[in-house]
Structure 1
Amino acid sequence: MIGRKALSPVELFDACVARIERTDPAVNAVVARDFERGREQAKRAEAAQMAGGPLGLLHGLPVAVKDLTATEGLATTWGSLVYKDHRPDRDELLVRRIKAAGGIVIGKTNTPEFGAGANTVNRVYGATVNPFDPRLSCAGSSGGSAAALAAGMVPLATGSDMGGSLRTPAAFCGVVGHRPSPGTVPSDARRYGWSPLSVDGPMARDVRDAALLLAALAGPDAADPLSLELDPGRFAALSDRDLGSLRVAFSADLGSATVSKTIRDHFAVVAERLEPLFGRAEWRDPDLGDVHRTFDALRAANFAHAYGDYIHRHRDRAGPNVIRNTEFAHALSVADIGRAHAEQTALFRRFQSFFEDFDLLICPAAAVEPFPVEDVFVAEIDGRRLSSYIEWISVTYAVTLTTHPATVVPCGLSPAGLPFGIQIVGRRHDDFGTLAAAAAIEAALAGDPEYCRPIPDLHRLLSRQDGLAGRIPAALEAHVAKAEG
């Protein structure tokens, strides 16, 4: 519409601002706002639009940026009390690419402290809640982005993902999130440039929008040692994949992830709906070994170096998840870290063998349904106490260890009336094929009221008074006190 002059970038920006101002008090997703500068950029975008010259991929589109990414002149807190007044003097590469493509940064979205936690709450901004029910979690750590998209505040948002940080919120909020192959979206800020665990990725309301944002973010850069040589323009021209030619494996729990019976049962219903779309489909679990111990060790090693000094100097202001991850690393030996790297390598090789028989692996995108915000994290599933505060996201962090791309697509509502998402895992480095298959699945479900993307009832959301948006749950303060003790 912008390209054919049917919509002004200023009109679009003002509409997003109006939606944020009306809706965000009930959700608390867009925690730092850049409306004044953004509107000036929208005016310039409108002038360029009317001049009739070439326009960038994201020309005039408002984009929300997760608050783990530095944005020049705009509050970047990383969810930390230590940085609550921090305003960077430069943009990270990801933001520079958004702006170079014509995108307009409208604000920052909420995240737990340094992204540590699968529930979006911190002591700077409080909790972000689920637009489908403000008593419930939007998951994390890209929960602010997912909630803003679901509530229609922005058309595009960024996320980051180590253990499932953009995939789980996408599932909880009924939107799309794509975890790219490591190196697809380069970073000039990631401390561990050689690690494939943490990536930045696009989030949107549908697959094609996510692919459009990825087209602006992807492409090689010398600052990232894992940066891939690829043509990002392919993502902008995404076409649906022929599902009838694909061999698909369904798995309810990847063979070793912790997934509730409720989710496994409903996933079986969803799989039955999807199965006729594919050339061949069967139930098959990959052999991922002890994904829990492997991921815990690699993640803790990252935290130990990145935040060890931070905890030493600011323990009184640090959150429990950062403290817990950092101190867990102190109990690990060099041999433990070496074993984890070796096991990830073995897991990766077994996964390549698995994909000799399949083009896609489809599984649930979250192990449980959205839970109360006050719980902070999931402590048990089906009566079994979990070994760590992040074990409940093992269905996503298991895929992280494989390094394969994964797209989350919403598939209607669960029996409890909450968003349900599937995780579509593609072949190694095949982000384009994975997204193209996800787009085709999304299109096949679009006309099905039972399985298409759900939309939250904003009138009902705004009329409720029982949410925790912007508040700090008592449970979080209890966890903080325990960690500090």
Structure 2
Amino acid sequence: MDANAPLTALPAVAVIEQFRRGELSPVTLVNASIERIERLNVKINAITATCFDRAREEARASEARYQAGQPKGPLDGLTLGVKDLQPTAQLLTTWGSPKWRNHVPQEDLPMVAALRRAGAIVVGKTNVPEHGAGGNSRNPVWGATGNPFNANLVAGGSSGGSAAALAADLVTLCTGSDTGGSLRLPAGLCGIVGFRPSPGLVPHPTRPLGWSSISVLGPMARNMGDLLLMLRSCMGTDARDPLNRGVSPESFNTTGVLPRLETLRIGYSEDFGGCSVEPDIRAAFRDRIERIAPQVAKCVPVDIPHGDWDRCFDVMRAESFMAGFQDVFDHDPVRLSEDIQANVALGKGFTLGDRAWAHLEQTRIMRAYQAQAAHLDLILSPVAPVTPFVWTQGFPAHIDGVAMDIYYRWLALTYRPSLVGCPALTLPCGLDSQRMPFSLQLLGSLNGDAALLQAAQTLEAFFESHEATRRPRPDLEALKPSTTPLNAMVTHPPESGAVPPSGSVATVV
């Protein structure tokens, strides 16, 4: 690591080792994280509500456990940011919505509870679009999140605050969730690692549509080692999730003998079946493929299965928004953002026949994809079809001359793999032509999470061995503020005293 890098930039795996050897204290790490948030978060607005007093108290308890040789779990003392779509006990959870701007849950989301049982210390919440709708993390409660490489540009969404907080070294680990790319896209735009696991690997017992496979929870980190450390603490058994596979961390082998680079069989697609992709992104993708191809056993273009991917996703997504927002839409639609209204309105136009068709189409596409993926170790594609654009623009209206017919169409590179149900991972590998982070999307076989993660570690080592493809790191100290204030969109800030007086504070920045 760069000698000038802040303490908070230390990888989680290295931090845990230093905790165990007594070379670093959880109190020191938490205080360093808080100091960095208080000083630099104003530049990117990644962290929203915070619980600094509680975090310091938990750090002191963690330090005592290490001194006694009895750490609580594999994450004991690490700092954690939690996506603001995920409830946190005694800490403001708003979903970025004016309706919930003063909501303080009494319980943690089960995944958050699992991470805290493993010893992770929640420092604060991370920003999102209102109710997670869209790829741009901005809302009327907290404002917008700027990209750590250029605060005028979008950080992605809906886990944009998490991705930006990690890239800026504000916290060590962050939670994410993913329906159509919500953790993969911001990970790609900010230059960190995000993993969408197969449905059910990480229990999601609070998912309203329990049998739906398109929405999952997943970890976000700055490198593969940290991501795997976090993932093992998220996994487990939960009978409330009908898709839960009950895979134990002990049986989930991702750290054994890794595949050698020269043995990997890789397929690739520039546009994953015809998605609109800007020429500069295609050029960056081709460059990475050209670097990889001579090093591996096989690197061939893949004919992505034909199908009406976009309409299929439209139906699936609208179904979930109908389940969550139809009643409000019918009786008080002004309480919903334009994006959410658009999703519900779209759903009202679909019939039971459309839903049956969508499930048939999804199944057909999945089986065709699996027939190809079964003979490969990885399928690669770009993550985002464009370089980051200005955050004041909700979404790109056109990509390579093609008009986007709805606000989430630009996410097709990530939502199409969601329909397949395969594990998917964002792996940073340098910069694009605009000097912004560029990443690859790594796709595996159905339920082939362990194999995908092993191969990803091998590719990460290859990328890190070359300066041009190493994970890029922003300079927050030199970052200029956004020319449009990141809180410009705030119309419903949390009220004073919205968070209990246990040390939690909620500040619009």
For the residue of structure 1 that corresponds to 2:471, the secondary structure is coil
Q: Report the counterpart of residue 389 of structure 1 in structure 2.
A: 407
Say whether 1:283 aligns with 2:301.
yes
1:157, 1:313 → 2: CA distance? 36
Alignment partner of 2:279 out of 251, 254, 261: 261
Alignment partner of 1:80 out of 50, 75, 97: 97
2:362, 2:344 → 1: CA distance? 21
Say whether 1:70 aligns with 2:70.
no
Say whether 1:301 aligns with 2:319.
yes
For the residue of structure 2 that corresponds to 1:178, the secondary structure is strand
Q: Report the counterpart of residue 412 of structure 1 in structure 2.
A: 430
1:133, 1:321 → 2: CA distance? 25
Say whether 1:19 aligns with 2:54.
no
TM-score normalized by structure 1?
0.95
Q: Report the counterpart of residue 310 of structure 1 in structure 2.
A: 328
Contact preservation (8 Å) 2:90, 2:104: yes
1:264, 1:206 → 2: CA distance? 24
Mapping of residues 52-451 of structure 1, within 5 Å? 52-233=69-250, 234=252, 237=255, 240-451=258-469
How far does the alpha carbon of each residue in 1:250-300 deviate from its partner, in whole angstroms, 9 at most, with x for none? 110112322222211210011101112321111123114111000011100
**Structure 1 residue 459: Cα displacement:** 2.3
2:255, 2:121 → 1: CA distance? 21
Structure 1 stretches (4+) deviating beyond 3 angstroms?
233-240
Letter of the 1:294 counterpart: C
Structure 2 gaps of 5+ residues are 1-17, 492-509
Alignment partner of 2:48 out of 12, 18, 31: 31
Contact preservation (8 Å) 1:211, 1:235: no
Contact preservation (8 Å) 1:288, 1:351: no
Deviating more after overlay: 290-299 vs 242-251: 242-251
For the residue of structure 2 that corresponds to 1:182, the secondary structure is coil
Structure 1 gaps of 5+ residues are 475-485
How far does the alpha carbon of each residue in 1:36-68 deviate from its partner, in whole angstroms, 9 at most, with x for none? 111100100000000012541101001101011
**Structure 1 residue 235: Cα displacement:** 6.0
**Structure 1 residue 229: Cα displacement:** 2.5
Contact preservation (8 Å) 1:112, 1:122: yes
Q: Report the counterpart of residue 481 of structure 1 in structure 2.
A: none
**Structure 1 residue 314: Cα displacement:** 4.1
**Structure 1 residue 2: Cα displacement:** 1.3
Letter of the 2:174 counterpart: A
For the residue of structure 2 that corresponds to 1:189, the secondary structure is coil
For the residue of structure 2 that corresponds to 1:200, the secondary structure is strand
1:23, 1:314 → 2: CA distance? 38
How far does the alpha carbon of each residue in 1:159-217 deviate from its partner, in whole angstroms, 9 at most, with x for none? 00000000000000000000000001101211011110000100011011111111000
Contact preservation (8 Å) 2:46, 2:160: yes
1:70, 1:255 → 2: CA distance? 36
Contact preservation (8 Å) 1:215, 1:236: no
Contact preservation (8 Å) 2:255, 2:454: no
**Structure 1 residue 81: Cα displacement:** 0.6
Contact preservation (8 Å) 1:258, 1:391: no
Contact preservation (8 Å) 2:195, 2:425: yes
Contact preservation (8 Å) 1:369, 1:418: yes
1:473, 1:76 → 2: CA distance? 16
Letter of the 1:121 counterpart: R
For the residue of structure 2 that corresponds to 1:141, the secondary structure is coil
For the residue of structure 1 that corresponds to 2:219, the secondary structure is strand
2:482, 2:395 → 1: CA distance? 23
Contact preservation (8 Å) 1:162, 1:199: yes
2:107, 2:180 → 1: CA distance? 28
Q: Report the counterpart of residue 458 of structure 1 in structure 2.
A: 476
1:114, 1:249 → 2: CA distance? 35
For the residue of structure 1 that corresponds to 2:194, the secondary structure is strand
Contact preservation (8 Å) 1:26, 1:467: no
How far does the alpha carbon of each residue in 1:391-416 deviate from its partner, in whole angstroms, 9 at most, with x for none? 11101001001100011010100011
**Structure 1 residue 114: Cα displacement:** 1.3
2:166, 2:297 → 1: CA distance? 33
For the residue of structure 2 that corresponds to 1:371, the secondary structure is coil
Contact preservation (8 Å) 1:176, 1:203: yes
Distance 1:231 1:100, change over 3 A: same
2:31, 2:314 → 1: CA distance? 44
1:317, 1:24 → 2: CA distance? 29
For the residue of structure 1 that corresponds to 2:248, the secondary structure is coil
Residues paired across the two proteins, number: 473
1:356, 1:150 → 2: CA distance? 34
Which of 1 and 2 has higher RCO (CA within 8 Å, sep 6+)?
A: 2
2:256, 2:109 → 1: CA distance? 27
Deviating more after overlay: 351-360 vs 331-340: 351-360
Q: Report the counterpart of residue 477 of structure 1 in structure 2.
A: none
How far does the alpha carbon of each residue in 1:315-347 deviate from its partner, in whole angstroms, 9 at most, with x for none? 223211111101110111111111011100000
Give the RMSD, CA atoms, in angstroms.
1.5
For the residue of structure 2 that corresponds to 1:373, the secondary structure is coil
Q: Report the counterpart of residue 65 of structure 2 in structure 1.
A: 48
1:392, 1:144 → 2: CA distance? 19
For the residue of structure 2 that corresponds to 1:108, the secondary structure is strand
For the residue of structure 2 that corresponds to 1:303, the secondary structure is helix
**Structure 1 residue 465: Cα displacement:** 5.3
How far does the alpha carbon of each residue in 1:83-126 deviate from its partner, in whole angstroms, 9 at most, with x for none? 00000011111111011101111111011111111100111111
1:266, 1:190 → 2: CA distance? 37
**Structure 1 residue 467: Cα displacement:** 4.8
